[in-house]
Amino acid sequence: MHFDINLVGYIAAFCTTAAFIPQVILVWRERSAKAISLGMYLSFCFGVFLWLCYGVAIRAWPIAINNAITLVLASSVLVMKWRFDRPARPAPEPRVITE
């Protein structure tokens, strides 16, 4: 019986990509990413982007595709952090019309 080592790669890629789904769901449901490290996610997204470029360059589509999906998931956490955790703008003062 022949064991295809690529299966290990596919399972690893699935696990590391799917690992971000609970985080995305949690941040979305709570509408808060205060506990998320901005520096870590920026660094991680950049690293995943480089893995994506590497996968495309060597035409390793499992690497490229899984890193593209991971980049979308991790970037969505960054976008939600920016959107949910930025300070709320104060409401504009109501205009008083005098005649």
pLDDT in tens, 22-69: 999 999 999 999 988 999 999 999 999 999 999 999 999 889 999 999
Domain, as residue range, for 72:
6-84
Tell whether 93 is covered by a domain.
no
d(CA 26, CA 77) in angstroms, rounded, equals 10
CATH code: domain of residue 53? 1.20.1280.290
Half-sphere exposure of residue 1, counting CA atoms within 13 Å on the CB side? Answer: 1
Total domains present in the chain: 1
Tell whether 37 is covered by a domain.
yes
pLDDT in tens, 69-82: 999 999 999 999 99
This prediction's pTM: 0.77
Tell which residue, 29, 44, 31, has the closest CA to residue 80.
31
